[in-house]
Amino acid sequence: MSRVLTAEELERAINLLPDIGTVKKNDDNTILKVGSYRLSEAATMQYIAENTTIPVPKVYGSYKDEKTQKTHLVMEYIEGDCLEDVWEDFGLEKKEDIISQLKRILDELRSLEETPRGPYSSEEEFSQGIIDTLLEKEATAFPRLVCEMVQDILKGHKIVLTHGDFLPRNILVKDGKVVAILDWEMAGWYPEYWEYTKIMYRPPYLKSWFKDGMVNKLIKPYYAELAVLMQARQLIW
């Protein structure tokens, strides 16, 4: 049964992210995520819970408030430390163990059989969407060159389930174990390079976990695809 929080519960909920104001702790077992999120995030988490051993919070309810038009996700509160906050405190052996756990999680996620759903039915359509967006911005010589790069490089990949924001800020650890993968808002079925390129979208060069080479230990690098998408992003955004 889907749980809907009362006005009193919403009022007394403790804000866990004061700078953002979207995640609140309702009680010892429940948190509330409020904002312009997709209801599909809850469906994705339920799918992951039912089909994998990947640790995700239980979803108790998801709904859109008719008055505010904000999405409400009621989820299990999981005790743990944000990996980004504690990474520097770990020794080499513990870091390698955490990386090994995360690699198994990503491998399991990417091994799921594809469940076709929109907005694109194939990698070809996905790449064409990038091309169309580029040409809408500016159909001059350089954007056309980037479009040719997209056509040549962004093809022939498997479609895999992708988290879309697989960064230490969305990973909880406790007693040396990964206890939760959070923030599935950007998840979906994408070409296999997408997870890597999303992690590298704005490379956190100064973060210790990045300097430790964590990314390439977690997932196969897709350098050519990354280079093409970096060029495309500069033109689009």
Delineate the domains of the chain, giving CATH numbers in brackets.
7-76 (3.30.200.20), 81-236 (3.90.1200.10)
Q: Is 43 exposed, middle or buried (0-12, 13-18, 19+ CB in 10 A)?
A: middle
Report which secondary-structure segment, H or E, holds 159. strand 159-162
Whether residue 1 has pLDDT greater than 60: no
Whether residue 115 has pLDDT greater than 80: no
pLDDT at 3: 62
pLDDT at 16: 55
Q: List CB contacts of 60: < 8 A, sequence separation 6 or more.
A: 2, 3, 30, 74, 75, 76
In three-state secondary structure terms, 84 is: helix
pLDDT grade, residue 45 (50/70/90)? very high
Strand partners, 69: none
pLDDT at 37: 83
* Measured CA distances, 68 to 16, 25, 34, 72, 161 (Å): 21, 20, 10, 10, 31
pLDDT grade, residue 23 (50/70/90)? confident
State which amino acid sits at residue 217. Answer: K
For 131-169, write each residue's pLDDT tens digit: 999 999 888 999 999 999 999 999 999 999 999 999 999
Question: To 5 degrees, how large is the angle CA 45–CA 33–CA 98?
Answer: 55
pLDDT at 21: 46
Whether residue 172 has pLDDT greater than 70: yes
Looking up tokens 């339920």 gives: 46
Instruction: Determine the average pLDDT of the residues in 173-178.
Output: 98
Whether residue 6 has pLDDT greater than 80: no
What pTM value is reported for the model? 0.88
Instruction: Determine the average pLDDT of the residues in 7-17.
Output: 53
170 secondary structure, DSSP code: G
Using CA atoms, how far apart are residues 21 and 10, in angstroms rounded to an integer? 13
Higher pLDDT, 204 or 29: 29
Instruction: Determine the average pLDDT of the residues in 93-99.
Output: 97
When mean pLDDT is compared across 4-8, 111-115, 200-204, 226-230, the lowest value belongs to 4-8
pLDDT grade, residue 88 (50/70/90)? very high
Whether residue 81 has pLDDT greater than 50: yes
pLDDT at 174: 98
Whether residue 207 has pLDDT greater than 80: yes
Average pLDDT of the residues of the chain = 89
Whether residue 234 has pLDDT greater than 70: yes
Strand partners, 160: 190
